[in-house]
Amino acid sequence: MRSIMLAGLFGLIALSGTPGSSEAKGCLKGAAVGGVAGHMVGHHGTAGAAAGCAVGHHEASKQDQAQQAQRNNGDNANQTH
């Protein structure tokens, strides 16, 4: 239980150090999932939260880039007509 609370605390600390919410996208969710998974695997909740935060942020960034590319392609298609 203590590891899960530490994982949540780590996630909040990670979020407080970022300049904007766009920088923290995916971190909280990833930290929560990683913290629980790390705790279940071998009482490594904090390490799981750190890894989960990094993976969550990476996945959110990929999704944002894909959405931005889609918007750009839509803008370009409208300009050619």
Average pLDDT over residues 8-35: 70
* Percent of the chain predicted with pLDDT > 70: 63
Burial, 55: exposed, middle or buried (Cβ in 10 Å; 0-12, 13-18, 19+)? middle
pTM: 0.59
pLDDT band at 55 (very low <50, low <70, confident <90, very high): very high
Q: Could you state, in order of their start, the residue ranges of all structural domains in the chain? A: 2-14+26-79
Tokens 């960034």 correspond to what residue? 61
Among candidate residues 80, 41, 20, 33, the one with its CA nearest the CA of residue 59: 33
Which residues contact residue 1 at a Cβ distance below 8 angstroms, ignoring those fewer than 6 apart?
none
pLDDT, position 42: 87
